[in-house]
Amino acid sequence: MNSRHLTRIVSAATIAAVLLLWWTVTASERIDPLFLPSPAAVLAKFVEAARDGYADATLWQHLAASLGRVFAALAAAIVLGVPVGMAIGASPVGRGIFDPLVEALRPIPPLAYLPLVVIWLGIGETSKVVVIGIAMFAPIVLATASGVAHVAANRLDAARAFGASGWQLLIHIRLPAALPDILTGVRIALGAGWTTLVAAELVAATRGLGFMIQSAAQFLVTDVVIMGIVVIAAVAFLFEAGVRALERWLVPWRGKF
C-alpha cells in the first residue's frame, strides 16, 4: 500500500470517527439540540434546504451566489496579482515599487477594509468581490514572485545564449518555471477568499452561504448553521482537490527533478 492510499484511508477513518462521536454525543441527549443537533437533523435540513430553500432561496442558489463572488474575485486577483508578482520577482525596480505596497497590505485583515470599501463602492456585489479579492491578492503575488525569482540560472543563461530578450525570458522561461508556485498561491488564495466570504456577505446580501448562516444564527436555527458550515468545508475540500488535479495536468514534472 502506497502512502497516498494510506493517507486516504486514515482521512476517511478520521471523518468517520468524528461523525460517530457527534452521533454518540447527540444520541445521549446530554446536550440540547438547540446547541448541537444530531447528524440526522442536519442531513434532513440539508435535504429540505436543497429542495424547498431557506431564506428565500434554495441551498444551490445560495451556493451559486457565493461561488460567483469567489471566482470573480479569484479571476481579478490572478489578473492583477500574477503581473505584480512577476515584476517583483524579475525586476529590482518592480520589487522596489510593489513589494512595500504588498507587504503593507498583507498583514491587514481584509475585513478591516470592509467599511472603507462599502463607502467607496456601495453595498452591491462589487464591494463583496473586492473584499474577497483583497484576501486573495497577496498570496498570489508572493507565490508568483517567489517562483519567478528562483528560476534556475542555467536556464536563463541558456536562453540568453540563444539571443532571448528580457521579455522573452519573462514569458517563456520565468513564467512557465513559476507556474507550480503560482498554482500553490491560487490554492492558498482560494482558502483565504473562502474564509472571507462569510463576512463579505454580511453587507446587504440576499443570497449566499454566509448570508444563509448569519440569517439562521439570528433565529438560533443551529441545524442550518452547521449544515452551512459543512457545505463550506466540503466546497473548500473540492477547491483543494480541483487545484491539485490542475497542478498534475499543467505541471506534471513538479517534484520529479
C-alpha torsion 40→41→47→53, nearest 10: -170
Read off the pTM: 0.85
Contact criterion met (CB below 8 Å) for 62 and 198: no
At 255 the pLDDT is 54
At residue 257, the pLDDT reads 42
Q: Find how far residue 98's CA is from the centre of its chain.
A: 23
Domain ranges of the chain: 1-31, 34-250
CB 247 within 8 A of CB 180: yes
CA dihedral 217, 202, 229, 42 (to 10 degrees): 40
Q: For every one of its 257 residues, what pLDDT tens digit does the chain have, with 9 covering 90 and above?
A: 667 778 778 888 998 999 899 899 888 888 888 888 999 999 999 999 999 888 888 999 999 999 999 999 999 999 999 999 999 988 889 889 998 989 888 888 877 888 888 888 888 888 889 999 999 999 999 999 998 888 777 777 777 777 777 777 777 788 888 888 999 999 999 988 888 887 788 776 788 898 898 889 888 889 999 999 999 889 988 888 888 888 888 877 665 54
Whole-number pLDDT of residue 98: 92
Give the Cα separation of 102 and 95 in Å (integer): 10
Fold of 34-250: MetI-like fold (1.10.3720)
Q: Nearest to residue 199, comparing CAs of 130, 101, 103, 253? A: 130
Task: Write the burial class of residue 24 (CB in 10 Å: 0-12 exposed, 13-18 middle, 19+ buried).
Answer: exposed
